[in-house]
Structure 1
Amino acid sequence: MTVNVRHLAFGLCLLAALAIWLASFEVPALFRWPQAAILPLGEWLNGALIHLLRETTIGGTTITEVSRFVAETAAWPVTWLIEAMNEGHFYDLSNGGEFWLAPPPALGVALALVLFTHALGGKGPAVMAIATFAFTMLLGLWPSTLTTLIAVLFSVLVSVAVGVLLGIWACRSARVSAMLSPVYDSSRPCRSFPISP
């Protein structure tokens, strides 16, 4: 009778794991990692990031102030569109009057998006879009759904614009291509994560 070394090693590993598990009831220290061996990496990184954001300046302006300005500038069109689509928008006219732009009806927006989905994907995705919009409207989730949809669509448009511009720049400049190549290589596996089961 021949003993398979792999099967024997696997069996011994299982027995060792079972023995450690049973021993952990008697010696609880087997379950805990020693406190002295834990490095405070989180605290170190957090301190470094706080220092970078609050203390580092670019021309007398901190990085926090710059990032807040960029965030507010980028959020303005999204906030305006969400407000206009959910509640409508008032405009002050030059003659002192006001003009109220009413929000589009939810059914009209849903129908336009279903037709757009049908044009891009066909009958199956359009039926799924109808079911999704009916579900969100019946549960009263239409404003939240519209807010999320606007934010996602704006993010996709900005990402595509930045990606196309960086791609053109990298195509025309070997130096930029060399700088962006590690970013592309490290993000390449990310595309398969959302579609993997």
Structure 2
Amino acid sequence: MKNITKLLIATPFLISSSVYANQPEKNKLVAQVNLGAVYTSVNNYSGTGYKASALINLPMIISGSDFYGKLSYQTSHDEKNGSDFYFEESELTLGIAYNISDKQRVFLEGGDIKQSFDQNEQGVWKDYGYVIRLGTQVQKEGLNFQIALEQRDGVESDLGYNYSFAFFKNKMRISYTDVGDYQSLGLSFQTNF
């Protein structure tokens, strides 16, 4: 019930955030909303749940570069030996992307990340830190591939990678992140505005 309540609270915010974005140029992405399933593994924990995220292009343009903000929330659950385990992660990042061509760009983004782990709704640990990503995105014939180096710094500092692959004209997305003891695999539906 706890996860459903959070989903109901987060979804209108994500959708309403994208509704207020104005489209300055024809065929230019202004906002993107994702909602889907996620499998998360952290240390000795692994569970399934959902992930919701929104990306909004900011109205600042410098020759060939775009600025954007991202908000992401994911939660997963597992039950073992009569105990309920919950993992939650929220992230707020700002980024800049330089368009090499209309099919490829490089990006740098950074922001805050919060992770928490609960057992039977009692907090076991929380971690506040930052995340930095440096990567590239390539689009070709309705497909969209993105790969990035990812640095996470909190209780532990780890370097890893993430990648995503969008298909069906950018309507579905598979993503994978592997940084230190943290792995996440997601499948989501996304819409662009």
Under a length normalisation based on structure 2, what TM-score does the superposition of the two structures give?
A: 0.21
Larger Rg: 1
Q: Per chain length, whose mean CA-contact separation is higher, i.e. which structure has more relative contact order (CA < 8 Å, sep 6+)?
A: 2
More helix by share: 1
Under a length normalisation based on structure 1, what TM-score does the superposition of the two structures give?
A: 0.21
